[in-house]
Structure 1
Amino acid sequence: MLKDKLGFVFTNFNNAHYTINAIESLQEESTSGRIQIVVVDNNSEKKDIEILKTFASNKLNVDIIYSKVNVGYFKGLNIGIRYIRDNHPEIECIVVGNNDLLFPPNFYNSIFESKEFFLKYPVISPDIITSDGVHQNPHVIEKISKTREFFYDIYHSNYWIAMMILKLAKITKKVTRRKDEDRYEVSGEIYQGYGACYILTPKFFYLFEELSSPSFLMYEEFFLSKQLLEKGYKIFYEPSISVTHLTHASTNKLPGKLKWEFSKQSHKEYRKHIKLF
């Protein structure tokens, strides 16, 4: 049996307006008392924090946690997960993700219409659709090819080489892009779900306390899949549950080279587990 109250956890970093839009897209459920929202602010600027404080001051079901340091994406989500688990034990199912999401009116009901998957799988990955209609899931249906892995190594070897690869990838996108997302209408087990949004089920919290988070930013999709595979599970992709993703609201706040450095650090950790040769 799936209890009918849902938790939501988002991270915020200097873009409170996205966080507010995400929360307001859940307004109908907010007034019903069937959801609890937690926002973990990753040490934003004072102005951004004040916006959040003002917004949340009269919201009974919205809690803001202000981290004194920027702990990164999954570590930030874990702060919110622990808060919900400690303060709202009646919540068994938690939606986690970026703050640049918009939830359709049927989001809450779509979860309970698919409850058989929520009792079987630890993590459900929804259909994530960008504002211009691009489907970002199923992100990786099977493992990544050795050829693509080789280019990942080249990409992370040098920042300027990485920029050249990105430009080349845009030019050759029709030929070189992975085709996994083309199967967005097909539900089933997948290797990795896109990191902007996951739904953690009662099965997840039976197996784990929190998300695996060895990286500050980037490669979260892999580390979550690894966490599940070690217990014999895969992520389940369910297209009847969907969200809109406004794409990279937080990471776009970072300088390009710093973002690449974060990716390089995460790739180094990734290579400890996935060997190219």
Structure 2
Amino acid sequence: MSEKKKFGFVVLHYCTLDMTKKCIAAIQEKMAQADYEIVVVDNASGNGTGKDLAECYKDTEHVSVLLSKENLGFAKGNNLGYVYAREELHCDFICVMNNDVILLQDNFAQLVEAAYEAHQFAVMGPHIELKDGRENAMYYEIASIEGLKKERHVYETRLKHITSSIYPLWNLWDRAKLLLRIFLGKIHVMPELKKHEDCTEGSLEYQDELVLHGCCLIFSPIYLTKYKDAFVPDTFMFREEELLYLRCKEAGIPMVYCPEVRILHLEDISTDYIYKTERKKEIFNLENQIKSLGILLEHLEVMQK
């Protein structure tokens, strides 16, 4: 590509100040030779760190801090930054990323542009390295409506147990059932449960037609021309990737996975900060999974009519 393209980075911030600063610093370092803008969206952090960021970067070139008056969740929070990068900063590519994502490559911009020239993608996902050295799991398709309903039922049952007054007993029961399920899989009475390592096949190869991980997504001029928002705005948290997959599939625009582009994902920094106990964190996750699964099922059922 002869003409230099402008890259926008949308970073969703919630409470974890040091992590957001590390994310910003990595972008500044790796994009030093490129044309770029960083849009930080503070999702109404209750600890005042949004205002701290605004003060910290008020005189910093290429960094804008947007302060949301309410916690918009994942989809709407990122959409706020995407709209600003698209309409006010006129970015050609927009990389929407969690604040616990770290860029690893000095030639990030060149790699993305080369991938776009080769594949003409609408949305691209990079290779995701995890903090323990593993690779992110790969998801090649959305589960069936029946499968998603079963998944929702599992979450609903678990939510009843974890919010019960006899939670310790239910917790022992649920863990015992899981151990039994693992054992039955090992002796081949039931299909063996997949390990994380079993889900990483293909992570070193170019892929298309798959559900990309939402921690880091690169939206190209094809997508920016067609959509004024990054994500379907119906959910608060979870299942945004599947809804994006359905949106692109229905529009006939390609989503691709390019392992040449690499990022580090530190995972769950914000929710670990907010919820000091695993029980509270699990309740929050279960409640939002149930709501978002209902929305995903509605979209799937409409598409299949």
- The answer to whether the superposition gives a TM-score over 0.5 is yes
Confirm or deny that 1:213 pairs with 2:233.
yes
Instruction: Tell me how far apart the structure 1 counterparts of residues 176 and 98 of structure 2 sit (CA, whole Å).
Output: 23
Shift of 1:189: 0.5
Contact 1:191 1:234 in 2 (8 A): no
Q: Mean alpha-carbon deviation: is it higher for 64-73 or for 125-134?
A: 125-134
Of 261, 273, 283 in structure 2, the residue corresponding to residue 241 of structure 1 is 261
The residue identity in structure 2 corresponding to 1:258 is F
Partner residue in 2 for 1:35: 36
Residue pairs, 1:59-98, within 5 angstroms: 59-89=60-90, 91-98=91-98
Shift of 1:60: 1.0
List per-residue Cα deviations over 1:199-255 (Å, max 9, x = no partner): 000010122111212101000111100110111134101000110000011233243
When the two structures are aligned, how many residues end up with a matched partner?
Answer: 273
Residue pairs, 1:99-114, within 5 angstroms: 99-106=99-106, 107-114=108-115
Residue pairs, 1:137-176, within 5 angstroms: 137=137, 139-144=138-143, 148-149=147-148, 151-158=150-157, 159-160=159-160, 164=174, 168=178, 172=182, 175-176=192-193
Instruction: Tell me how far apart the structure 2 counterparts of residues 167 and 247 of structure 1 sit (CA, whole Å).
Output: 27
Instruction: Tell me how far apart the structure 2 counterparts of residues 231 and 246 of structure 1 sit (CA, whole Å).
Output: 32
Contact 1:122 1:235 in 2 (8 A): yes
Instruction: Tell me how far apart the structure 1 counterparts of residues 225 and 21 of structure 2 sit (CA, whole Å).
Output: 31
Instruction: Tell me how far apart the structure 1 counterparts of residues 209 and 20 of structure 2 sit (CA, whole Å).
Output: 28
Partner residue in 2 for 1:44: 45
Instruction: Tell me how far apart the structure 2 counterparts of residues 167 and 5 of structure 1 sit (CA, whole Å).
Output: 52
Partner residue in 2 for 1:263: 289
Instruction: Tell me how far apart the structure 2 counterparts of residues 197 and 69 of structure 1 sit (CA, whole Å).
Output: 23
Partner residue in 2 for 1:177: 194
Identity of paired residues, percent? 24
Partner residue in 1 for 2:25: 24
Confirm or deny that 1:273 pairs with 2:299.
yes
Shift of 1:113: 3.1
- Alpha-carbon RMSD: 2.9
CA spacing shift, 1:136–1:48, aligned 2, 3 Å: same
Contact 2:34 2:109 in 1 (8 A): no
Contact 1:30 1:61 in 2 (8 A): no
Instruction: Tell me how far apart the structure 2 counterparts of residues 230 and 166 of structure 1 sit (CA, whole Å).
Output: 42
**Which runs of at least 4 in structure 1 moved beyond 3 Å after TM superposition?**
29-33, 145-151, 160-167, 171-175
Shift of 1:266: 0.5
Instruction: Tell me how far apart the structure 2 counterparts of residues 209 and 128 of structure 1 sit (CA, whole Å).
Output: 26
- Secondary structure at the aligned position of 1:156 is classed as helix
Q: Which runs of 5+ in 2 are unaligned?
A: 163-170, 187-191
Looking at CA atoms only, which structure, 1 or 2, has the larger radius of gyration? 2
Shift of 1:180: 3.9
List per-residue Cα deviations over 1:103-127 (Å, max 9, x = no partner): 0133233213323246x22100111
Instruction: Tell me how far apart the structure 1 counterparts of residues 9 and 242 of structure 2 sit (CA, whole Å).
Output: 22
Q: Which has the higher helix share?
A: 2
Instruction: Tell me how far apart the structure 2 counterparts of residues 207 and 166 of structure 1 sit (CA, whole Å).
Output: 49
CA spacing shift, 1:167–1:57, aligned 2, 3 Å: farther
Contact 1:12 1:99 in 2 (8 A): yes
Partner residue in 1 for 2:7: 6
Shift of 1:58: 3.0
Instruction: Tell me how far apart the structure 2 counterparts of residues 53 and 59 of structure 1 sit (CA, whole Å).
Output: 10
The residue identity in structure 2 corresponding to 1:168 is L
Shift of 1:97: 1.8
CA spacing shift, 1:51–1:177, aligned 2, 3 Å: farther
- Secondary structure at the aligned position of 1:273 is classed as helix
Instruction: Tell me how far apart the structure 2 counterparts of residues 246 and 131 of structure 1 sit (CA, whole Å).
Output: 5
Instruction: Tell me how far apart the structure 2 counterparts of residues 149 and 262 of structure 1 sit (CA, whole Å).
Output: 14
Shift of 1:153: 2.5
